[in-house]
Amino acid sequence: MQGLTEQHELISDHSTTWLAIRVFRGFHRKTRRKSASCFSLARRVSIYLDRSKQGGAGMVVDWEQETGLLMTSGDVRVIRIWDTEREMKVQDIPTGADSCVTSLSCDPKRSLVVAGLGDGSVRVYDRRMAPNECRVMTYREHGAWVVKAHLQRETDGHIISV
C-alpha cells in the first residue's frame, strides 16, 4: 500500500497479484465516505508475459503527483497510464520486450517514462509520441534483473539504475 498524494484528499493505491489497483478517496474523514475506483491493468490475455522464463514482477506502479497520472506495468507487454481523476485509461505504451517491467519512473515536465526490465535493460519512452514509436532509447548495461530505475527530474536529469 502506498500513499499517493498529500493534498486535499488522501488517496492510496493497493496493488494486487491479479493486476488490479483500487484507489480509495476520502477514507481518512470521519464521515466514512469510501469511494473506490478499480483499475485493471490487463484485460486482454495477449498482453500477459510467460512467467516461466524468469519469474514475475507482479505489479509495478509509479505516481505522477503533478498530473494525477498513475503508470502501471509488471508481467505484461505494456505500460498502462491511468488518469485517476477521470478514472480512465489514457494510454498504453508497448514495452517492446519479452521481459517483465520491474521498475517505473516518470517525469511530467518532459513526458518521459523510464522502465527497468527483467532482462537487464532500461528503456526510455516519450508519452507524446505514437505508441509504436515512443521508445526513444534502450540501455543494456545490466546482466540481470533491474531492481530500480529512476529518472532525475532536473532538465538534464540522469537515469540511475540498480
pLDDT tens figures, 61-72: 898 888 889 898
**Cβ(117)–Cβ(125) below 8 Å:** no
C-alpha cell at 90: 489514457
Q: Is residue 146 pLDDT above 50, yes or no?
A: yes
Q: Across residues 110-135, what is the average pLDDT?
A: 94
pTM, whole model, 2 decimals? Answer: 0.74
- Measured torsion, CA atoms of residues 87, 24, 43, 81, in degrees rounded to the nearest 10: 50
pLDDT value of position 1: 41
Confidence of residue 84 (pLDDT cuts 50, 70, 90): confident
Q: Number of C-alpha atoms within 13 angstroms, CB side, residue 139?
A: 16
State which amino acid sits at residue 20.
A
pLDDT value of position 65: 82
pLDDT in tens, 106-119: 988 889 999 999 99
**Higher-scoring residue by pLDDT: 138, 84:** 138
45-49, 51-55, 82-86: range with lowest mean pLDDT: 45-49
Interatomic CA distance for residues 42 and 115, integer angstroms: 18
Percent above pLDDT 70 for the chain? 66
